[in-house]
Amino acid sequence: MFPLVPVSAAAFDLDVALAYATADNFTGKPVYRAEAGCWLHADAARLLARTVELARPLGLRLRVLDAFRPAEAQWVLWNHTPDPGFLADPRRGSPHSMGAAVDLDLIDIASGQALDMGTAFDEFTPRSHHGNQDISPQAQRNRHLLMGLMTTAGWDFYRHEWWHYQMFNARANYPVLSDTLLGPDGMMPPG
């Protein structure tokens, strides 16, 4: 069985804006092909669908910023910024590279605007930690709202990144996957 399923905006009723398919990320350049698809392990996709169901009645929509991250991409990120407080060492394996993690934020359906989370995605500072009180009270509430939705749906969180959620015991239950698994639809640019 193919372990990854595509996560599309239409099929999941969410937004997909893969940060690493653009230059708008901490490396300053695209890591994925511009047309890279969004993928998750089937188990993680089920949890994500549950989160969408929980968010909708609150007038909220999920926006996925990263999901499956091929092992090759994890090396690109690590080689740029080898910070184990914010990036998994690729020798250990990232839950992203297992299709068992997702980075996301929330959008208000009525306004179409992203909720203020106090920092940008991938701001590698203590201000990005869950429970940080050096951000506005509204941003703190928004982070707690996201955490409540995600943990209620069955996700675990990473305390250093308000945007990162993963499946419990991912490293014990899922293998690290290569971009080659996706064949010609791979996420990495050629060469």
pLDDT band at 191 (very low <50, low <70, confident <90, very high): low
CA distances from 106 to 94, 127, 130 (A): 23, 18, 15
- Give me the CATH number covering residue 37: 3.30.1380.10
For residue 164, tell me if it sits in a domain: yes
For residue 190, tell me if it sits in a domain: no
Sign of the CA dihedral running 34, 16, 106, 144: negative
pLDDT, residue 184, reads 86
Number of domains in the chain: 1
Q: How many CB atoms are closer than 10 A to CB 183?
A: 7
pLDDT, residue 190, reads 81
Q: Which of 2-6, 58-62, 182-186 has the lowest mean pLDDT?
A: 182-186
pTM value > 0.85: yes
Is the pLDDT higher at 28 or at 184?
A: 28
For residue 174, tell me if it sits in a domain: yes
For residue 123, tell me if it sits in a domain: yes
Whole-number mean pLDDT of the chain? 96
> What average pLDDT score do residues 119-148 get?
97
123 is catalytic: no
For residue 14, tell me if it sits in a domain: yes
pLDDT, residue 90, reads 97
Place of tokens 């899922």: 174
Provide the domain limits for residue 101: 4-185
For residue 191, tell me if it sits in a domain: no
> What average pLDDT score do residues 131-147 get?
97
Q: Name the 3-class secondary structure at 166.
A: strand
pLDDT, residue 149, reads 98
Can you tell me the distance from the alpha carbon of 106 to that of 15, in angstroms, rounded to the nearest whole number?
A: 9
pLDDT, residue 185, reads 76
Can you tell me the distance from the alpha carbon of 63 to that of 69, in angstroms, rounded to the nearest whole number?
A: 16
> What average pLDDT score do residues 13-27 get?
97
Catalytic residue among 53, 72, 123, 161: 161
First to last CA, the chain: 28
Place of tokens 């708008």: 24
Can you tell me the distance from the alpha carbon of 103 to that of 64, in angstroms, rounded to the nearest whole number?
A: 6
Sign of the CA dihedral running 33, 6, 15, 50: negative
pLDDT band at 150 (very low <50, low <70, confident <90, very high): very high
pLDDT, residue 1, reads 62
pLDDT band at 176 (very low <50, low <70, confident <90, very high): very high
Residue 129 has pLDDT above 80, yes or no: yes
Residues 58-111: pLDDT tens digits? Answer: 999 999 999 999 999 999 999 999 999 999 999 999 999 999 999 999 999 999
For residue 61, tell me if it sits in a domain: yes
Place of tokens 């106090």: 118
Residue 2 has pLDDT above 90, yes or no: no
